[in-house]
Each structure stands twice: as structure tokens, then as C-alpha cells.
Structure 1
Amino acid sequence: MEESLILKNISKHISLDNQEISYFLSLLKERKVAKKEPVLKQQQICKEISFVESGILRAFYSDSAGKESTVMFAVGDWWITDMFCFVHQKPAMLNIEALEDSVILQLQKDSLDELYFKIPKFERFFRIMMQNAYIREQLRVIENLSLSAEERYDNFLQKYPLAAQRITQKQIASYLGVTPEFLSTMKNNRQKSSYS
């Protein structure tokens, strides 16, 4: 298990002694996920929150007609879950899948509750993480309401600079709320104008 990345992530907000580190690491389960393999499926009880050690995960909603809407991508050093369903132990509303071979560290809901009890400073860590996630999602909703598709694409490139080259145009389009054809036309127009 590559411990340094997750410990660096934790240390952004809290400090742990060696005993606390050992206990925290003992609660994590490493999982290797192959490309296109699901981590979570809609209607499955969401039991884990996952930390991405390497690779890329995608969370998306699939409607009854099979249309997919991407909610988020998670690259190395990011956490991902269906938060509402994880917290309330409900059937998942989202699918989470690997977009490439990935390694994740998973923490079960009951282990997280135990962690809060035994090392209360983890409540601070996850509170900050959830606040940041809420802020990100609120800003994204406002962007979707107020920005053009091109501006949303620019923001996507800033938010996921390393992943943009590794994600399909179809998946990027579903994140932006446009069709793949529209995204392709927009990118072609940008390239033409940059050559002018």
C-alpha cells in the first residue's frame, strides 16, 4: 500500500502521531480496479468512501433510458463516494467506475464512525473535506447556470489538467452537459481561431 499520498492528503488538515497513523491505515482496504470496472453501482448500498491512489474514477448518474450524466471525476489524491447514500447507508444514486486501471483505498462507513470515536480529529478532517466538496458543487451549479459551454470547458481543463487527456470526449461532454458533437465542434472552432 502506497501510504504517503493518503497521509499527505490527511496532513493538509490534521496532524497524526505514529499510533494514530497505524490505526488509520489498519482501517483501509486497498483495491485494484481494472479499467471500466464498477466501484459502485446504482441501487447498491454505498458502504465505502474511496481515496484514489492512482488512476481515474468517474461518478455518473444513468437515467432509465441509459443516458449518462457525469457528476465528477476523481484523480490521484481525491476522495469519492455517493455522499448522501454513504452517510445514510442508502442505495446508491450514482455509479462509480474506473476509467483506467486504478488503485483505491477504501474506508467502510462503520470504520469511519469508529475512527471519529477513537481519533476525534478525523471529524475535523472529513468536515473540511465535505465543506470543500459542497463549495465545489455549488460553484459548479452556478457555472452551469451562468457560463457558456466554452467557459465551462475552460474551467474543466483548469480543474482536471492531468486527466483531460485521459478522459474520452463523450465523458467530458456528459460532465459539461453538452453533446459530444457540440464539444467536438467547439474544440475545432477554437483550433481554427488559434491558427488565424
Structure 2
Amino acid sequence: MDTDRIISQLVAHFREVVPLDGSEVELITSKLELKKIKRKEYLLQPGQVSWHMRYIAQGSMRVYYLDEKSQEHTLQLGLENWWINDLYSYLSGKPSRMFIQANEQTTLIQISKNNLETLYKEVPALSDFFRLKIQSAYVALQERTIEHLSVDAYSRYRALISDHRTMEQRFPQYVLASYLGITPEFLSFLRKKHVTDIS
């Protein structure tokens, strides 16, 4: 694992949003933890509390929950340079109801809640970064909720593959179907329809 390259990747990600000088970068990097997870391994399971903010450096992950019929509902997909978490558990300190699972072998960078609170005081720009990220996550959640209520499945599918071109190659069909709120069989039908429409 090329630790320096992975840390530099996160620093560049921070600097896309907020300015950071060399001393601030040193403070931040002293509090980071690298974690490697195997494909299908769980990062978080129901009953556990999420105590870290997590950045995907390499790989892909998903967040899902099981309903009373043990049906999976995928709430979030994550690729490189995305943050993945159960924000409810992280912000409230309450046990999660979610599973966070690696879809591929994945390398994460974690920052514990305690360390992040310290960094907010030492590096105020980092507080700005996460404030903006959490606001963005809230807006995205609201947009996704409204989309599920008002946009047909075919339009949701086309938007997903248009915005994130590698999703179809990297996630199994049943995971994408769960994320879109449809059955794998219906997703297969939508894929065929899309191929016909663009040919």
C-alpha cells in the first residue's frame, strides 16, 4: 500500500474545497488511520456505533439495511474520493441500523470523531470542509427521496449511469436494483431498453 500517495489523495480532496497550509496538513495527517477491507467484509453492522468519518481511497462500498422481511435496501453507493458513513449513528452516537460493506477490496482513510473534533479547533478550514460535505449529503438525500417519489425507474437508471459511468461494471445487478428501488429482473429489462434506445 502506497501510504504517502493515498494520504496525498485525501489532502488534494480537502484542498479542492478549502485552503490548507503545510503545518495544517501535518496536523491532519497525524490523526489519520488507514484501513484495508476485503471484498464483502463489513465495516459497520447494526448495533454498532459509527465513531469515524471514512474516505474511500481505493475500491467501492455500499450502505444498506434489512427490512422486517430481510429484504435489502441499498441507501448509498461509494466509489473512490467519496465519503461513506451512517451519519445518523455518527452524529447521534446511537447504534446503527445499517450495514456498511465493501463491494471490492477497499482502502479507507478514517478519522475518529474525537480526533476530528480536535482538528476542528486546530484547523478551522477542516470544520468548513465537513460542514459543506454534510450539507451536501443532506441535499443529496432530499433530492434522492424526491426522485424516488416522482421520477420513473427508467429515468433514475439513466441518470445513475450517466452521472457515474463505472457503476454498472463495479456493482452487482442486485445491488444497483436495490439502490434504484426495483427488482433485478426489471433492471435487466431497463438495461435492454436503454441499449435499444441508444442504438
* Alignment TM-score > 0.5, same fold: yes
Q: CA deviation at 1:181?
A: 0.8
Residue 73 of structure 2, aligned match among 69, 80, 90: 69
The question of 1:50 aligning with 2:26 is answered no
AA aligned to 2:69 is A
AA aligned to 2:136 is N
Tell me if the contact between 1:62 and 1:69 (Cα under 8 Å) persists in the aligned partners. Answer: yes
Count residues in correspondence. Answer: 195
Cα distance in 2 for residues equivalent to 1:59 and 1:159: 19
User: Residue 143 of structure 1 aligns with which residue?
Assistant: 147
AA aligned to 2:187 is L
User: Residue 101 of structure 2 aligns with which residue?
Assistant: 97
Cα distance in 1 for residues equivalent to 2:78 and 2:198: 30
Name the TM-score, length of structure 2 as normaliser: 0.93
Spell out, residue by residue over 1:140-189, the C-alpha distance to the aligned partner (whole angstroms, 9 max, x if none). 11111111100000111123222321101100000000011111122223
User: Residue 86 of structure 1 aligns with which residue?
Assistant: 90
AA aligned to 1:124 is D
Uncovered stretches (5+) of structure 2, i.e. residues with no partner: none
AA aligned to 1:154 is R
Cα distance in 2 for residues equivalent to 1:173 and 1:166: 13
User: Residue 39 of structure 1 aligns with which residue?
Assistant: 43
Uncovered stretches (5+) of structure 1, i.e. residues with no partner: none
Higher deviation after alignment, 151-160 or 171-180? 151-160
User: Residue 161 of structure 2 aligns with which residue?
Assistant: 157
Q: CA deviation at 1:191?
A: 2.8
Percent identical residues: 31
Tell me if the contact between 1:87 and 1:109 (Cα under 8 Å) persists in the aligned partners. Answer: no
Residue 11 of structure 1, aligned match among 12, 15, 37: 15
User: Residue 185 of structure 2 aligns with which residue?
Assistant: 181
